[in-house]
Amino acid sequence: MSGPDLDALTSKDSWAGVRAVVAGFSVAGFASTDNLTHLGAEVVALDERRDPELEEKAELLGVLGADVRLGDGVTDLLPPDVDLLVVSPGWRPDSSLVLQAHERGIRVWGEVELAWRLRNPDHQTPWLAVTGAQGRGTTVCMLDEILRAAGLRSVAAGGVGLSLVEVVMDPEPYDVIAVDISSQQLHHTYSMQAESAAVLGMGPQTEVDFPDWHPSYEAWLADTAKVYQGVEKACVYNVADERTRRMVEEADVVEGARAIGFTFGMPSVGMVGLVEEIVADRAFIAQRDTSAAELFTMGDLASNEPEFVTSALAAATLARAHGVSQVAVRDGLRAFRPGHSG
């Protein structure tokens, strides 16, 4: 007998009959367990840790019908009769549970994949996704501030802010979601099609120095590049990092999506960059071949550290791709203060 058709399910459907295991019971794992249980799935949540806070959360979800197992050894074996394994951020592809799932032909999703599939089909809130080696949380929080300055009901989610699953299940849909997503999270993401996406840069890593979560340098780059797949409006890349441009060139995107670079130098047509102390837009204005629009000045930022400015450039570019005004970009960046980023 075939299992449930997971590809057909959204937050509007009953998940009754779906047997799901959630690996990890932190913020993302708790939200995944809570909402899958709410939708009618049979959920087993596993976490090797045991502390009073987790036990309290486990008791709460146990009342709702989830089976939460905490303590040493609970993640050694994948339970029988499972349709779906949802892995929290950080679960390696070579972990025992993931390998067992693949051996048994069981689907493995990350929190981002689950959240994308749980979106309200009647209100497809656009996602603006940010990844890269450094500065994701700052960029996403800046972007959220800009979107709010534009009068939009925005939220920062993913690696910073709220759980993505919690956000998409909110009964009052958001206008737009600023998503912080790591290369590790992208590994278990397959369906996401962001409205626009940015790779901030890959940092100083080389073929002999890359995050050891990934099996190889090439695998790390490939997982990072997945953020661009299916993009609808803009693939935002760092002109200073040739690797990000190549990712854009190789991405399979929606027809009409644009490649937009950001740079510390003078922007060419189709870029956002610095003209002395002014950040100029030559990508989202009608006369971009012959002119530029001022978005903000370096004096509008709380810091002129290179990583902070990189975040501001990327956030401004993503916001402009979403249709946000120049004034809202400036006002949002003026209002932003470091300290609430991830």
CATH topology of domain 122-335: UDP-N-acetylmuramoyl-L-alanine:D-glutamate ligase (3.40.1190)
Q: Tell me, which fold does domain 6-116 have in CATH?
A: Rossmann fold (3.40.50)
pTM of the model: 0.94
Q: Looking up tokens 């009342």, which residue turns up?
A: 63
Q: What is the pLDDT of residue 209?
A: 60
pLDDT score, position 1: 45
Q: Which uninterrupted H or E stretch holds 27?
A: helix 27-38
Q: CB neighbours (10 Å) of residue 198?
A: 33
User: What pLDDT sits at residue 2?
Assistant: 64
Dihedral of the alpha carbons of 24, 30, 31, 37, in degrees to the nearest 10:
100
Chain centroid to Cα 155, Å, comes to 12
Residues 149 and 77: their CA atoms lie apart, in Å, by 48
Calpha distance 20→41 (Å, rounded): 7
Radius of gyration of the chain from Cα atoms? 21
Domain spans, the chain: 6-116, 122-335
Alpha carbon distances (Å) from 205 to 69, 200, 211, 241: 38, 13, 8, 11
- Tens of pLDDT, residues 211-256: 778 888 899 999 999 999 999 999 999 999 999 999 999 999 999 9
Mean pLDDT for all residues in the chain:
94
Domains 6-116 and 122-335 share a fold: no
Write phi, then psi, for 232 (nearest 5 degrees).
-95, -40
Instruction: State the number of CA atoms in the 13 A half-sphere of 56 facing the CB.
Output: 3
> In this predicted model, what pLDDT tens digit does every residue of 161-195 receive, in sequence order?
899 999 999 999 999 999 999 999 999 999 999 99
Condensed to tens digits (0 to 9), the pLDDT of residues 104-152 reads 999 999 999 999 999 999 999 999 999 998 899 999 999 999 999 999 9
Tokens 């997945």, located at residue: 226
pLDDT bracket for residue 19 (50, 70, 90): very high
